Amino acid sequence: MTLTTPPGPSTTTTPAGPRLVEGRGELSDAVVRALGSGAPPAYTPGAVLKADPWGEDLQLALYLMYEPHYRGFEGVDDAREWDPDLLRMRQALEARFLHALRTELADAPRTVEDAFAPLLVEPVDLSDSLSHHLETEGELWQLREYAALRSLYHLKEADPHVWVIPRLTGRAKAAMVAIEYDEFGAGHADRIHAKLFADLMTDLGLDPTYGRYLDQAPAPLLATVNLMSLFGLHRALRGALVGHFACVEVTSSPGSRRLAKAMRRCGAGPAAEHFYAEHVEADAVHEQVVRHEVIGGLLAEEPDLEEDIAFGCAATGLLEDRLATHIRTAWQHGHSALREPLP
């Protein structure tokens, strides 16, 4: 009998993935070095405890450790996706992030009805609305910045939400698959929403390459993307992921209508306008399905997840508000909302 040696771990890399960026502190520096060298991350345990959970260093470190679950990084071994040293570090940073979210949202609604009721009514006062600002007085350079920021989410649109599908059953699973089928183009590659956003970027004179604007993305933007990765990668947070997804779908249609008008008013181009016009109609339908079938079906199967669904909705609103405040404050002071202005 011939004995064979079991295969070792994969050593494949992702040549087409985005390039690693420079770190923004001890934690993200450690992740960059670890991914680039193949070595374990080298950092002091105290750095985790002292890190600002909303800050550049922690949020970039988390983003870098989540990305191997998506398209990876150029030259980085694909096996690092499940590297135990990186996962151990990630767990510690996730705990800091989750604790900050739960602390901030200690008084947030704990029922689905209370969490979503305010989202179903268009506010009378839209003065704090970023999409309203862009619709009524935004300039083309602001639309370009907004698109560059949002590209870190929209170029992986719907991807993290797919992770919840095998964790659902019955009505919730069927409805979630139906919505995701639309998000991924209903069988047509040119209609995938991520592709439509890449076309929008081209119309705006931006580089539509996946991950291109990571280095320019500030912490408030990274946090919005990290939130859905955090919820998506943990089965224990499946209710929060459904809450996140529902919040996005419920609030998307009115904001998309305003952004479509902004693109048209500024002459951004047909593809730029089309992306948001597509979401006005599609997400109006998705809103009903996600509330009545995804959430309704999940609660019928697992009623104990109601507080988690409400938490996911509240956390999404919190981080979106923090991002909008960051962007509006920068623009009001005549600054770029990016870490470095676009060329």
Q: How confident is the model at residue 26 (pLDDT cuts 50, 70, 90)?
A: very high
Helix (H, G, I), strand (E, B) or coil at 291: helix
pLDDT (average), residues 6-21 = 67
The DSSP annotation for 15-34 comes to: TTSPPP---SSHHHHHHHHH
- pLDDT value, residue 15: 59
261, pLDDT greater than 50 = yes
* 8 Å CB contact between 266 and 143: yes
Tokens in use for 237?
């947070």
Tokens in use for 16?
């087409």
The DSSP annotation for 277-316 comes to: HHHHHHHHHHHHHIIIIIIHHHHHH-GGGHHHHHHHHHHH
Looking at per-residue confidence, does 127 or 169 come out higher? 169
Helix (H, G, I), strand (E, B) or coil at 4: coil
Instruction: Enter the DSSP assignment of 208.
Output: -
pLDDT (average), residues 299-311 = 98
Q: Which CATH class is domain 112-332?
A: mainly alpha
The DSSP annotation for 97-160 comes to: HHHHHHHHTTTS--SHHHHHGGGGS--S--TT-HHHHHHHT--HHHHHHHHHHHHHHHTTTTHH
Q: Taking the model in full, what pTM does it have?
A: 0.93
- pLDDT value, residue 6: 41
Domain range summary for the chain, segments of one domain joined by +: 26-104, 112-332
Q: Residues with Cβ < 8 Å from 192, sequence gap 6 or more?
A: 183, 184, 185
- pLDDT value, residue 188: 96
Q: How confident is the model at residue 3 (pLDDT cuts 50, 70, 90)?
A: very low
pLDDT averaged over every residue in the chain: 93
Looking at per-residue confidence, does 254 or 13 come out higher? 254
* 8 Å CB contact between 217 and 153: no
Q: Give pLDDT tens digits for 170-200.
A: 999 999 999 999 999 999 999 999 999 999 9
pLDDT (average), residues 285-310 = 95
259, pLDDT greater than 70 = yes
pLDDT (average), residues 2-23 = 65
